Amino acid sequence: MKLRTQITMLLAGASLVISSASYAADGTINFTGTVTDQTCTVEAGSANQTIPMGNVSAKAFRSIGDTALPTKFNIALVSCPDTVKKASIKFDGIYADGNTTLLSLNKETNAATGIGVALYEADGTTQIPVASFSNAQSVQKDIRNVFTYVAKYMSTSGTVTVGPANATTQFSISYN
């Protein structure tokens, strides 16, 4: 009985050595982060917004990449702790057909086609691709930290059709 147990253990050990050789690592991924006691609070009026973009003629978009109706919007952070020095915003949503840096228009009856919504830093020229973080901005304790961005319609096709041109994004905040 004792010999049988020893043989079984020997075979089990040998199988571990053989199987580990077939599972050699090809690379390493390190996950890093920080647990903090508190982060900033998104001001109530910033958490859920509707930004009126206005009306634009389909003729304003003569070629792919043309933009129209730059519209500013803000996200305000309050109650930031001393430990938070910078923050950046990531905008997520469905990509526009033909351009994965833009937000797609919402799928609704008779919606416009051939355009999406581009998001920019406050300067209106530095685009923030969908699913990418904006430039980090400094935040301070005990003040209303306002992050200003610009949204523009951008053509994704040589032909733009008329109709509702609404888009939706969710945002998340990264603290540095």
Q: Residue 30: CB partners within 8 Å, gap ≥ 6?
A: none
Bridge partner residues of 88 (DSSP)? 174
Chain-centroid distance of CA 43 in Å reads: 19
Q: With 80 as the cut, is the pLDDT of residue 70 above it?
A: yes
pTM across the whole model: 0.80
> Rounded distance, CA 119 to CA 128, Å?
5
Q: Any idea which residue has 């990264």 for tokens?
A: 174
> Rounded distance, CA 145 to CA 80, Å?
9
Which range has the worst mean pLDDT, 20-24, 37-41, 136-140, 166-170?
Answer: 20-24
Q: Residue 117: CB partners within 8 Å, gap ≥ 6?
A: 53, 96, 102, 103, 105, 151, 152, 153, 154, 167, 169
Q: With 90 as the cut, is the pLDDT of residue 99 above it?
A: yes
